[in-house]
Amino acid sequence: MGSFLDDVLCGCLTVGFAGIFLAFYVVILLVLKIRHDKFNAPIYEQMFNMGITDCIQLFLHVLGGVCSLAQFDIPPDVNKVVEKLVLVLI
């Protein structure tokens, strides 16, 4: 086990970077969805779907960072359910 300072630093960096990238991703996905007249090629639909899966992954990174900051271990049963949901969604 690492020290408390290592856990806090890791949690802060994880929440910070994942949160920033998640915010950028949401803005980009909104632009792709709202400006459908400019982005109507089939490749943009695929990019939108890939962006959704990336947002799900980034949200789970933020959740992991919060758990690291709170010194909380997710119960194994909940971890298995979330893993199955992510595999189904991807």
**Can you tell me the distance from the alpha carbon of 12 to that of 66, in angstroms, rounded to the nearest whole number?**
8
| Residue 79 buriedness (CB in 10 A; 0-12 / 13-18 / 19+) | exposed
Cα–Cα distances in angstroms (integers) from residue 40 to residues 32, 54, 61, in the given order: 9, 21, 31
**Can you tell me the distance from the alpha carbon of 49 to that of 72, in angstroms, rounded to the nearest whole number?**
32
Residues 9-60: tens digit of each pLDDT: 888 999 999 999 999 999 999 999 999 888 888 899 999 999 999 998 899 8
Domain ranges of the chain: 4-89
Residues 39/32, Cβ–Cβ less than 8 Å: yes
Q: Which residue has the higher pLDDT, 58 or 3?
A: 58
* pTM of this structure: 0.76
